[in-house]
């Protein structure tokens, strides 16, 4: 029997990163532009046998039972009630090959509870620090999904990215000047000249004959 891991959240979640590789469970897509009611990752096999020497005469793993392993990983509630587990974030291992409406409803309930919790956390953080950068990404996502008008909500400008015309690295659409690439390589492309001038990110252009009536020349008297 196959094992289906379901994600009713919006974002893609990394399930685990180990000897077997990296596994991701896709989400629903962008808030309010959802591509699907839920994302899923399906393991077709029941057991994975991979004898890999990890040193010290040890071999990893023993054949791992896929369903047991992912069920332990995913179907566990955060014991401290801090919404820290994948289960609390709207993921679950379906009992059958397809999730049932009941399973999906319960997962959506957990996901929404997590979003409301994160939104409250974000509000408290912003109230205390007044700093956008201290508000975490989940709180911003929550504000967007729940349609809450907060000054720190994720805007389209923040999430939409375009390739830089100079170096092709993806940059926020609202960026005026791309100063340097992520690895520190300088770029310097001016994306939005008007905005860059307004924010004084680039020097104002020197005009050759900016002053129509320079000093020393009297206007013609009538
Ligand atoms: Zn660039």
Q: List pLDDT tens digits, range 32-87.
A: 899 999 999 999 988 777 666 666 666 665 677 889 989 999 999 988 888 989 99
Residue 58's alpha-carbon distances to 19, 50, 52, 63, in angstroms, are: 13, 13, 8, 14
How far, in Å, is the centroid of ligand 1 from the Cα of 70? 41
Interatomic CA distance for residues 188 and 39, integer angstroms:
39
Q: Cα(160) to centroid of ligand 1, in Å?
A: 16
Specify the length of the chain in residues: 222
Strand, coil or helix: 61 = coil
Query: What is the spatial distance between Cα 25 and Cα 30, in angstroms, rounded to a whole number?
Result: 15
Q: What is the pLDDT of residue 88?
A: 96
**For position 14, what pLDDT does the model report?**
87
How far does the centroid of ligand 1 lie from the alpha carbon of residue 144, in Å? 28
Neighbouring-strand partners of residue 142: none
Distances (CA, A) of 138 to 34, 50, 112, 175: 17, 36, 12, 22
103 CA to centre of ligand 1 in angstroms: 45
pLDDT at res. 199: 87
Determine the pLDDT at residue 108: 98
pLDDT at res. 183: 85
Instruction: Tell me, in angstroms, the distance from the centre of ligand 1 to residue 169's CA.
Output: 6
pLDDT, residue 50, reads 64
Residue 210 has what pLDDT? 53
Give residue 145's pLDDT.
93
What is the block-wise mean pLDDT of the chain (222 residues), using blocks of 10 residues?
Answer: 95 82 89 94 83 64 81 90 92 96 98 96 90 83 90 64 84 86 89 89 74 56 52
Q: Residues lining ligand 1 (ion), CB within 5 A?
A: 164, 166-167, 178, 187, 189
């Amino acid at each position: 029997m196959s094992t289906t891991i379901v994600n009713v959240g919006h974002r893609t979640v990394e399930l685990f990163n180990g000897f077997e590789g990296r596994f991701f469970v896709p989400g629903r897509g962008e808030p309010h532009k959802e591509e699907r009611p839920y994302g899923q990752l399906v393991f077709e096999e029941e057991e994975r046998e991979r004898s890999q020497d990890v040193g010290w005469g040890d071999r990893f793993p023993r054949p791992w039972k896929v369903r047991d392993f992912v069920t332990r990983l995913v179907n566990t509630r955060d014991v401290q009630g801090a919404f820290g587990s994948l289960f609390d974030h709207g993921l679950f291992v379906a009992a059958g090959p397809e999730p049932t409406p009941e399973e999906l409803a319960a997962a959506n309930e957990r996901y929404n509870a997590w979003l409301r919790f994160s939104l409250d956390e974000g509000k408290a953080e912003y109230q205390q620090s007044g700093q956008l950068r201290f508000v975490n990404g989940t709180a911003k996502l929550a504000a967007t999904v729940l349609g809450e008008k907060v000054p720190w909500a994720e805007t389209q400008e923040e999430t939409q990215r375009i390739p830089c015309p100079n170096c092709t690295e993806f940059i926020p659409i609202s960026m005026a000047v791309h100063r340097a690439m992520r690895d520190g390589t300088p770029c310097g492309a001016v994306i939005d000249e008007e905005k860059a001038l307004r924010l004084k990110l680039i020097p104002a252009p020197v005009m050759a004959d900016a002053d129509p009536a320079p000093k020393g020349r009297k206007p013609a008297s009538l």
